[in-house]
Amino acid sequence: MIDQLFKASIDSILIADAQGAITQVNPAAEKMLGYSKEELIGKHAKFLYAFDEEFESVSAIIKETGGFKGEIVNRTKSGKNITTFLSANFLFDDDGTVLGMMGISRDITKQKEIERKLIEREKTLHQITETLSDVFYLYNIVEGKYEYISSNCENVLGATQDFFYSGKSHTKEFGYVDDKEILYDSKDKVDAGEPYDIDYRIVVNGEIKWVNEKSFPIKDDSGQIIANSGICRDVTNLRNANETIYRQNIEIGASILYAKRLQDSVLPSTEKVKEIFPDSFVLYRPKDVVSGDFYVVDNIQGSENIDLPTFIVGDCTGHGIPGAVLSLMCNVLIRESFTRKELYTPGDALGFVRERLSKFFEADNEVRIRDGMDVAFCIFHKPTMTVHFSGGYNSCVVMRDDKIIEYKGDKQHVGYTDNPKPFVDHAFKVEKGDMIFLYTDGYMDQFGGSNARKYTKKRLHKSLLALRHLPMEEIGHILGNEFINWKLEEDQTDDVTIFGVRI
């Protein structure tokens, strides 16, 4: 029975005599180390260690304590170093004499690599959250305490991290007397499993500040409310200026579902898009639950005190959670550009966003994060029927009758670059009935069809021409179905966004 267990074990087992020479080897050890049983028998166990000093350290621990448990590095026959978890103990006879030693080990190389990548990703996301101006928090409802709150909470909420972690009530000490009822009502909503989006006042050093807070409940697998997570932003100036409230998202360790809800809250609603562009559509399909793509449809105030319909489609580096965090940052920076009086054109705005992103990601003069976005940025000046466009890699496509005109963006993305150049602004006239399309590369790059090939821009333009006589909303539905039929069983390649409008 013992011999059967020895052979069947999935863990590597080696037995050595009192002098350290290997006497027995199971099949799992042969597989893990790459040596045959014949090649191992008689060899000193030291030769399997990648580092001599590690062998000496392990030997010393075993002599002192009688055993060892921990990670070591083995070298395989192919010369590859692998990380293993070793449990080693002396073997004794009935008289207590040491007969040898048995070591049981398991290859944990892949596990260690996954742990390393997770730690690196968490550090990157944490760095981004600490760079943004908003306060992010996670509150444990079950234990009645904050699990996390951004270090900039004192700037926005008037209280330090220690204040929140101590369990004190921010509402009691800082809440404006007339708004405390709103805050208590919001707590009831979270306890009932409902999200909230509220504006309230706080008093910090005798001054009243307006704060916008968006919060969502987090449930466990059984549906019980266990926490709520959200964002707080100082909207004093924005509220007075009646600006759009910025929506951002980050919550390290929270559920993907929460991240999606928060990201969706940043995108303009269907009603908002239809209000600005009645004959339009948005095809938005994230590769994962959340997306590195985003779109903005809004009216911005022009120098002539008229509303200028603005539409933007952006494609940020990556997808999934990292792409979503970056898309939120880019979305916020673009919306911030709307409020800058010194920015007159889409090209100016993209230059502003690029500069801010470069500063966010600047580590030192030699190491820089080059993440950013490709983007198409359009402003429609209705009195003169003129569209102003600027882009980074992404294009603006205009369709008139059966002809397509493509205005290409610059061959530089919005983010750090070694040789930044001003973004070129294009201004062109449009006529009633013209169609304009902005899109990311996800639709065109999708593999599918009978030969698992890319859809391609040529095929997309051909489809748009064939559908030009239909209402825009119907075109959006058809393109969505075409994408599904093309993709079939293939995995979605990238995030997909297409915005179309008929003037």
The answer on 403 and 261 residing in a single domain is no
Domain termination site, one of 246, 265, 284:
265
**In sequence order, which residues have a C-beta less than 8 Å from that of residue 235 and are 6 or more positions away?**
199, 210, 211, 212, 245, 246
Q: Which residue has the tokens 């926005």?
A: 156
Q: Using CA atoms in the order 115, 116, 122, 123, what is the torsion angle rounded to 10 degrees?
A: 150
d(CA 232, CA 169): 16
The answer on 379 and 286 residing in a single domain is yes
Domain termination site, one of 57, 86, 107:
107
Residue 28 belongs to a domain with what CATH number? 3.30.450.20
Domain termination site, one of 237, 265, 293:
265
The answer on 247 and 149 residing in a single domain is yes
The answer on 117 and 102 residing in a single domain is no
The answer on 201 and 226 residing in a single domain is yes
- Residue 392's region, left for phi above 0, alpha for psi from -120 to 50, else beta, is beta
The answer on 329 and 214 residing in a single domain is no
Q: Which domain holds residue 219?
A: 110-265
Domain count, the chain: 3
Q: Which residues pair with 310 in a beta bridge?
A: 298, 379
State residue 253's pLDDT score.
45
Residue 373 belongs to a domain with what CATH number? 3.60.40.10
Sign of the Cα pseudo-torsion (420, 497, 460, 272, in order): negative
The answer on 95 and 173 residing in a single domain is no
The answer on 210 and 155 residing in a single domain is yes
Sign of the Cα pseudo-torsion (475, 478, 482, 483, in order): positive
The answer on 282 and 416 residing in a single domain is yes
The answer on 392 and 302 residing in a single domain is yes
The answer on 122 and 84 residing in a single domain is no
Sign of the Cα pseudo-torsion (14, 17, 18, 19, in order): negative
d(CA 377, CA 395): 9
Which residue stretches of the chain have pLDDT < 70?
1-5, 8, 121-132, 238-260, 262-263, 318-323, 362-370
State residue 474's pLDDT score.
95
State residue 137's pLDDT score.
85
The answer on 54 and 145 residing in a single domain is no
The closest alpha carbon to 215, from 194, 234, 235, belongs to 194
